[in-house]
Amino acid sequence: MNNFINSIKVSTSLYTSKNSIHFWKRFKRWQDLERDYLKERKIEDKKKNFIKLDDGLYISPEKESDVMPKKNVEDMTRRESGAVPIELIAKHTQMRYLDHSIDNIKRFKAYQHFQHLQYDQRFIPERLLFLGPDLAAAYFIVHRGGTIKFVGDNAWIRKDKKGRYSLPPRRVPGLYLEAIDASNTELMFEGFDNFYDLKNLRLLSLANCKYADDWTLSRVGSMFSESLEMLDLSYCKKISPKGLMGLRSLKKLKYLRVNGLNDPQGIAKATLFLEEAIPNLIVIGVDYEGALEGFQKDALLLEHERASMDAKGNIHIEDDNGNLYYVKGCVNERPTVDDNDLPIITSTIRVDVPKMSDVEFEELDRLSQGKLRHLLVGSPSAYSWSEATETILAFEEKYKLKRGEIVDPKLLPLKKREDVIREVEKLEKARLEKQEINVKQINSS
């Protein structure tokens, strides 16, 4: 079984190059590759037994169809009927769209590495049979750069600089795995097939695991519900608030670390639900004050008559023509980047200027933290709204004036919007005074 992937590649070498970047989007799980490999072996065995001589030699048939079961024409596959493979036709059509850029080659290599990891971290029954669940998981983690600790042993076991480590070569009765530190490794969803029956695992660290995602957390919640006490998910950028809810079944969890995750507001809300569902849980790394400030800003934005929220939590602004303009939510705003991770396009969201008064537009832009104007002009970065947006506004104003075009007042640079900004500041001051009066009335009553 170790060489069946290479056999498949050899059998399809007529139309698939081993190191070609043209067909990298195709993905096949190792189970599918193994099935195809066994099918090829079955055909080869039938060929060898078609005309077999007494001395062990055989005569291969001229046509493969002579040894295959007879089928009606309508039931034949393209291979059985001798037609050109549909994959070859599709790839021939795609030849006009080839991308030989360094960026695409990097993506291809990364995806190829991902496929290798998915196969490399598969479950191997023989390893579990000879070593037992705890020792098999220890070998799996240490071999891939992680660290482990056994119950009753204060030593942490990991590879040295030469890749050597010391673990028992066979099953040891009473040897149980207590802690797994897989931080900075490439552990992924498929690797958790090797962690079943770990009854004494108390600590699991997935810090900075770039392949750890919501599906991974669903397995953590189901596999270690009776033992896990400490879990570290720091800087796992693929984990979302919905994924954290998969940890509700960890009834013994005492410490959860979530530093550096995306969507701090959603993470804060999810951790509050977890603290209610799991008694005595302590969550580390959540900026509740920053999340509360973000919720307050969203509430101020939604108080405006032109702002509305859809079922997915996206906030839109409606203009006089009934057009909606996205300003906040779950839409991916990060632009495409080049080889150095620098943006190469302005924005993925670009629409016409909304029809409303200049004062109202400026007010909504301030309430949305500058994203309304940012997404109209297209700042080169999805992480800084003000400076890059103003640079583009100043450049586009000069460019349009040079060509004799009219510049919309809403898209003027900051220096030429001072009158409108003063009007908006007056409105904000009046709103704050009104809120203070309402608070005093509530306190007095």
Domains of the chain: 4-117 (no CATH), 121-286 (3.80.10.10), 305-437 (no CATH)
pLDDT of residue 24: 52
Comparing 224-238, 361-375, 386-400, 403-417, the range with the smallest average pLDDT is 386-400
The DSSP element (H or E) to which 326 belongs, if any, is: strand 324-328
pLDDT of residue 82: 78
384 vs 375, more confident: 375
pLDDT of residue 207: 95
pLDDT of residue 326: 85
Spell out the residues 6+ positions from residue 408 whose beta carbon is closer than 8 angstroms to its own: 353
338-352 burial by CB neighbour count: b if 16+ within 10 A, else e? eeeeebeeebebeee
What's 54-77 look like in SS3? CCCCEECCCCHHHCCCCCCHHHCC
| pTM for this predicted structure | 0.65
- Alpha-carbon gap, residue 137 to 126, rounded angstroms: 13
Contact predicate 268/291, CB 8 Å: yes
288-303 vs 264-277: helix axis angle to the nearest 10?
120
Average pLDDT, whole number, for the chain?
82
Contact predicate 362/424, CB 8 Å: yes
- What's the first-to-final CA gap in the chain, in angstroms? 78
pLDDT average, residue stretch 37-53: 81
DSSP 2: T
pLDDT digits over 302-339, tens only? 988 899 998 888 898 898 888 888 888 876 665 555 55
Beta-strand (E) ranges in 151-277? 177-181, 203-205, 230-232, 255-257
280 vs 19, more confident: 280
Tokens of 112: 């190829």
Q: Could you tell me the CA-to-CA distances from 341 to 354, 380, 387 in Å, in that order?
A: 32, 12, 19
CA 67 to chain centre: 47
Amino acid letter, 288: Y
Q: Is residue 148 classed as helix, strand or coil in its secondary structure?
A: strand
Q: Which residues pair with 337 in a beta bridge?
A: 343
Alpha helices in 4-124 (DSSP H): 4-11, 30-48, 78-81, 86-94, 102-120
pLDDT digits over 259-272, tens only? 999 888 889 999 99
Spell out the residues 6+ positions from residue 211 whose beta carbon is closer than 8 angstroms to its own: 114, 117, 186, 187, 188, 189, 238
Decide if pLDDT at 2 tops 70.
no
Q: Rounded to the nearest 5°, which phi and psi values hold at 204?
A: -140, 120
* Angle at alpha carbon of residue 309, lines to 303 and 313, rounded to 5°: 125
Nearest to 18 by CA among 80, 108, 104: 108
Nearest to 358 by CA among 298, 403, 419: 419
| Confidence band, pLDDT 50/70/90 cuts, at residue 421 | confident
- Alpha-carbon gap, residue 296 to 208, rounded angstroms: 30
pLDDT digits over 84-120, tens only? 888 788 777 777 667 777 877 888 888 889 989 999 9
Q: Could you tell me the CA-to-CA distances from 141 to 101, 149, 173 in Å, in that order?
A: 36, 11, 20
- Beta 147-150 vs 307-309: how paired, if at all? unpaired
Nearest to 209 by CA among 234, 180, 244, 228: 234
Contact predicate 323/354, CB 8 Å: yes
Among 9-18, 198-207, 345-354, top mean pLDDT goes to: 198-207
